Amino acid sequence: MSILDLDLASLRATLSAGKISAHELMQETLAKIDAINPQVNAIISPLDPDMCLDAARRADEHGDPTRPLHGIPLAIKDLANAKGLWTSMGSPLFPMAPAAKDDIFVKRMRDAGAIIFAKTNTPEFGLGSHTFNPVHGRTANPYDITKSAGGSSGGAAVALATRMVSIADGSDMMGSLRNPAGWNNVFGMRPSWGLVPSEPLGDMFLHQLSTNGPMARTPTDLAVLLTVQAGPDPRQPHGRPAQDFLRDMEQFDLKGAKIAYLGDWGLPYESGILDITQTAVDQMRALGATVDQISNPFDMPALWDSWVTLRHWEVTNKLSPFYHDAAKRTLLKPAAIWEIDNGLRLSAAQIHAASLIRSQWFAKTVQMFEEYDAFVLPSAQSWPFAGDLVHPAQINGVPMDTYHRWMQVVVPAGLIGLPVVNLPIGFGANGLPAGIQLIGGRGADAKLLGMANAWHRAYPHANTKPPLS
């Protein structure tokens, strides 16, 4: 067994006991990347190896071994700034220049002792749950390199699954911490909105769809990383209190939990997805949870219309400066132009109506969480599809009319900022992994982590390594 097969908790114990140094861990990490990454293209824009090793040596000599991420190599998703590393966002619009400073949550991970040495690949501007872009190319699924790795945290999920890193950060607007985790047999967590701050730039009141969050191979590692990332930023209005999630998750379990399985909710699924989800639901019952199947708790077409409107609006506000520059516009992917074209046509009344639907759905979930501890839905409506596709054209005979309609199942939680943990649930007959969304009420992050940990103890699917690892 390689040292890189260890989870974060075991790595930290090994470092603390002096059985391995941060320098040796970085050597092993770089060797693994040299061996694996050319086949999957998950790690991008790394520092020079000598710089990585020097940083690890400094951690050994001057670092604080009590810090929660002391000596741990970490690659940052290429939508966030990490000082000294190029932020491309998968777009040719940005110069190949190192970032001048860390984003807030990146600095928190660095201050916790992480050695930030590279970036992980993402779709252009994070748009689409399929990781490819014109700058760095496509990230391959390590369970079948002809298939998609998901996205937009696809590089992070693949780096975790292949044991190139022990923990990873990601971000999630429309399933980007959930879909790639499900498709790569790891844990990904979309935290309660506001728990992990973004940058205090532009409007900080109206746009509540995206969040940063942790990825890992165990729920306990998710908890450690979330504790580091989380906590309010006084410059932003919607922050949530810091919390020791590793401690607080211990009081929660699946035994005695009451869960609502929301079924297919009228959405199309590829063959086998609902079957493997039902197996996981039955296994939750075997662990002592009560699981009720609930049919269509809210009008799904209304949720979709609300989502698409608010997403158009948010993407337009972020990317319209590129759109309005004729030269730069030609470098935007079609999905970005489609979002902006639609966003520019929106009226204030349409945005208000979309947010009203969002508010009504949130109120409905508050009522539901008075009875249930969590909801369950699949993490994606399809298995990993062919990597050379832009997106699936249809699912089970139903045409997909947008580049992201095939991920509609993630909208109910993302629309209202609910916390979600992707649980790995095993493999289909095709040998590809799948996951389910375990969705909690706003602020129920520790509860979800506790239930996820009970799941992992009983069904450690994430321990099954891909062929490329």
- Which three-class secondary structure state does DSSP give residue 384? coil
Kindly state the DSSP code that residue 195 receives in the 8-state scheme. S
- CA nearest to 114, candidates 32, 221, 196: 221
Average model confidence (pLDDT) for the chain? 97
Q: What is the pLDDT of residues 333-382, one digit of tens each?
A: 999 999 999 999 999 999 999 999 999 999 999 999 999 999 999 999 99
Q: What is the pLDDT of residue 306?
A: 98
Pull the structure tokens for residue 55.
């940083």
Mean pLDDT of 137-158: 98
Beta-ladder partners of 439: 375, 420
- Integer angstrom CA distances of residue 309 from 19, 40, 205, 282, 410: 54, 34, 17, 36, 16
Q: 216 forms bridges with which residues in the sheet?
A: 167, 187
In this predicted structure, the answer to whether residue 272 has a pLDDT above a threshold of 90 is: yes
CA distance 419 to 340: 28
**What is the rounded CA–CA span in Å between residue 261 and residue 377?**
6
Collect all residues with Cβ–Cβ distance below 8 Å to 400 and sequence separation of at least 6.
391, 392, 393, 394, 406
pLDDT at 1: 80
pLDDT tens digits along 25-46: 999 999 999 999 999 999 999 9
Percent of the residues in the chain that have a pLDDT greater than 90, as a whole number: 99
427, two tokens: 């493999």
CA distance 361 to 414: 11
For residue 95, count CB atoms less than 10 angstroms from its CB and return exposed for 0-12, middle for 13-18, buried for 19 or more. Answer: exposed
Give 63's DSSP letter.
Answer: -
Which CATH code for domain 3-304+349-463?
3.90.1300.10
Note the pLDDT tens digit of each residue in 279-323. Answer: 999 999 999 999 999 999 999 999 999 999 999 999 999 999 999
pLDDT tens digit sequence for 378-416 = 999 999 999 999 999 999 999 999 999 999 999 999 999
Cα(418)–Cα(415) distance, integer angstroms: 8
Could you tell me which residues are beta bridge partners of residue 437? 377, 422
Q: Distance from CA of residue 304 to its chain's centroid?
A: 21
Residue type, 409: V
Q: Residue 435 has which token pair?
A: 């996951």
Q: Which residues contact 223 (CB under 8 A, 6 or more apart)?
A: 245, 246, 249, 446, 449
The pLDDT of residue 457 is above 90: yes
- pLDDT at residue 76, as a whole number: 98
Q: 342 Cβ partners below 8 Å, 6+ apart?
A: 308, 312, 316
Spatial distance between the Cα atoms of 378 and 386, rounded to a whole number of angstroms: 20
